[in-house]
Amino acid sequence: MKIYTRTGDTGDTALFGGGRVPKDHPRVAACGAIDELNAFIGRAIGDVRTDRIRGYLTLIQHDLFTLGSHMASPPTDRGAAGTTLPPFPENRPREMESWIDEADTTLAPLTEFILPGGTAGACALHICRTVCRRAERSAVGVARSDSSAAFSVRYLNRLSDLLFVLARIENQVAGVPDAPWSQESE
């Protein structure tokens, strides 16, 4: 199988399971944002210090491939006949909530906004969080016309919360305090 196909040279691309759409189609934009998030998470795995966080991120990378495969498929009510997709990790949002709750027991309560930063791992996780929010916004656009995208919206919403908490954990492990936001910069 060749990497290049030349089939997209005119600005459209194939959906998994059938059909072609312009490369700027909302479904393709959502796929791209999820793919970008997955790449940034792969980068973050190399920066984080905590084995448990690396384990979470690796699991999330597999989940994101599943979300991407569903996003790259035409809505089932429009003829994705014969397309076999991996099942959504239905329990993962609740599992992520438990990871967040567990992490929160070790973190100082937030009383103000904090700046994204700190260790290389925390910075990488904050970047992942912002890319995740963009992927979520793209998924919301798809979910307006395809109800199967609703799970992706819920998953990505929970994931962005998790990435924020994991960034704080990375800083805590390194002894780097949260940097509070101030309206008055020095």
Which tens digit of pLDDT belongs to each residue from 123-159? Answer: 999 999 999 999 999 999 999 988 889 999 999 999 9
Alpha helices, DSSP H, located in the chain: 26-47, 51-71, 92-104, 120-143, 150-174
Provide the angle, in degrees to the nearest 10, between the axes of the packed helices 51-71 and 150-174.
160
Inform me whether the pLDDT recorded for 185 exceeds 70. no
Q: What is the pLDDT of residue 80?
A: 44
pLDDT tens for 5-14 read 776 777 787 7
Candidates 131, 151, 135, 22; CA nearest to 86 is 151
Q: Where are the domains of the chain?
A: 21-76+87-174
- Terminal CA-to-CA distance of the chain, rounded, Å? 57
Q: What is the pTM of this model?
A: 0.89
Percent of the chain at pLDDT above 70? 94
Find residue 22's DSSP bridge partners: 12
Mean pLDDT within 155-172: 98
d(CA 73, CA 77): 11
Going by CATH, does the domain composed of 21-76+87-174 fall within 1.20.1200.10?
A: yes
pLDDT tens for 24-34 read 788 989 999 99
pLDDT tens for 87-126 read 999 999 999 999 999 999 999 999 999 999 999 999 999 9
**Residue 117 backbone class (left: φ over 0; alpha: ψ -120 to 50; beta: rest):** left
C-alpha to C-alpha distances, 182 to 43, 113, 117, 146, 186, nearest whole angstrom = 30, 8, 15, 41, 9
Are 158 and 182 contacting, i.e. CB atoms less than 8 angstroms apart? no
d(CA 126, CA 165): 9
Candidates 155, 137, 125; CA nearest to 42 is 125
Are 180 and 114 contacting, i.e. CB atoms less than 8 angstroms apart? yes
Longest dimension (CA), the chain: 61
- Tell me how long the chain is: 186
Candidates 149, 170, 132, 171; CA nearest to 41 is 132
